[in-house]
Amino acid sequence: MSRDRGPRRLRRLDRSALIAVSVTALSLTASGCVVVHGEREVLPSSTRAEAAKALQQFTTAYNKADKAYDSSLDADRVTGALGDIDAARLKAGRANNPAGNPAYTPLKFSDVTYTIPKKAGWPRWFVADAAANKAGNSRWVLVFQRGGLDEQWQVSYLTLVAPGEMPKFKKDADGWAEAVPANSAELAVRPADLSKDYTTYLKSGGDSFADGANTSEWRAKRKKTAKLPGRVTQYIDEPLTSGDYAPLALRTADGAALVFFTTRYYAKETAYTGTSLPTPTKDVLALTKGEIKQSLTMELMSNQVALDPAKGSGKQQIGVLGRIEGLTSAEGS
């Protein structure tokens, strides 16, 4: 799988700045062994047992990396947006705590539901929805993907969703879900366009996204903090749509789609002449190049999960159910 990762990232800023290869055949074991051409046939992305094993392997690697603050210990289990966020978090943690994480608590999952789509071609992917011993009552929603049989399952998306917010998915008689193509015209917005549309909304507003914490409230927060005593903050948002940042979508029972997508944004804080910026946290400083004299430009990765209604249905606004962002780098000037 192409890592296509760019600078690696840090978990939420307000949480201590801080969370295709084609193949000739795919062998899938159910009651027996079936060998088919994986690049052409519509097949489940994984077995249920394989999905459970992938989650266990991710959790083991994530905990080792978190305990040691060492990104090399889980680098082969994360990619895309989560890979960037996780690596930057660990980089900052190690810079400030070379001996490891003094507040380490192992991550544990329970009550896991796997949603595995049938699809042709690569990448193959599936979703794990679980309760965890961190982040309160929020459900952890992880997207695993890989680009070929010779590659490991990696988590590219991680979002937190409130209990009861996850939709019901369309499934066939065997319990397999349906992947929605990125260029599908059956939805209010094509999954391929969602990242771009979201960045446009954050800049200019509009009614394409439903009000909520990750839409109208986030825009209001930005507006409120754009001008503060002694400093101003400017924002630039960019869509990310290729490689392991590409959107992934699942068909819901009502014909809509649950879409995972990525954006990146920059926040530049500039102090007025004669004043200075507040001292950033030690985790921000660990990821900052240059001297902070009059300004600080922060680069952050943000991954979202949204409910995209079916075209022609009564409700056409996109609902952003969850979002996790992380500082990836910063530069002072």
Q: What pLDDT does 164 receive?
A: 94
Kindly report the backbone phi and psi dihedral angles of residue 243, in degrees, each rounded to the nearest multiple of 5, phi listed first. Answer: 55, -135
SS3 category, 72: helix
Question: In the chain, what is the straight-line distance between the N-terminal and C-terminal CA atoms, in Å?
Answer: 37
Q: Which stretches of the chain score pLDDT less than 50?
A: 1-38
Using alpha carbons only, give the angle 322, 67, 163 rounded to the nearest 5 degrees: 25
Q: What pLDDT does 39 receive?
A: 61
Kindly report the backbone phi and psi dihedral angles of residue 28, in degrees, each rounded to the nearest multiple of 5, phi listed first. Answer: -125, 120
Cβ atoms of 263 and 302 within 8 Å: the answer is yes
Q: What pLDDT does 314 receive?
A: 85
Q: What pLDDT does 31 receive?
A: 32
pTM of the model: 0.88
Q: What pLDDT does 315 receive?
A: 85
Q: What pLDDT does 22 receive?
A: 29
What does the domain layout of the chain look like in residue ranges? Answer: 26-332
| Reduced DSSP (H G I as helix, E B as strand, rest coil) percent helix, strand, coil of the chain, to 5 | 20, 35, 45
Q: For the chain, what is the mean pLDDT? A: 90
Q: What pLDDT does 41 receive?
A: 87
Q: What pLDDT does 330 receive?
A: 98
**Tell me: the pLDDT tens digits for 52-91?**
999 999 999 999 999 999 999 999 999 999 999 999 999 9
**C-alpha 174 chain-centroid distance:** 28
Q: What pLDDT does 17 receive?
A: 37
